[in-house]
Amino acid sequence: MGRQRVDLDGKYVVVGYDRPMRSCYAQLYDQGDDPGDDAPLRAVGYHPLERLESERTEHGIYPATPADIANALNDWGLSTVEVDIVCRALDNDLP
C-alpha cells in the first residue's frame, strides 16, 4: 500500500492507493496529530474492517476512486489548490 503525507496549512492529508483492496484513500489530520496514534478527522476509501469503534472519524465511501477522493477533499473544505496538490500526490501512487 502506498502512503504519502501532504502537508497543508494547519493540517495534512495522508493519501494513497491500497493495491490489494483496489481503493484509493485519503485521511485528514490536524497538524499535531500522529497517524500512528490518532484517528483521522475525516477519511474516505477506508476499509470498514480497519475502523476502530473508538475513532472520531466520519468515514466516506469505500472503495474510492481518484474522483471520489477529489470530491471528498472538496467536501472537507480544502481549497482548490490544496485538492490539486493532494490529487497530484495520489496520482504518483496509482498503478
**One digit per residue, pLDDT tens: the chain, 95 residues?**
578 999 999 999 999 998 888 899 999 999 888 877 787 888 898 776 666 655 555 667 888 999 999 999 999 999 999 999 999 999 988 88
pTM assigned to the model:
0.85
Contacts of 8 (CB under 8 A, 6+ apart): 78, 82, 85, 86
Residues in the chain: 95
Residue 76: the pLDDT is 93
Q: How far is CA 45 from CA 9, 10, 12, 32, 49, in A?
A: 23, 23, 17, 23, 12
Q: Which of 28, 22, 9, 8 is nearest to 73 (CA)?
A: 28
Q: Where are the domains of the chain?
A: 4-91
What single-letter amino acid sits at 64?
A: A
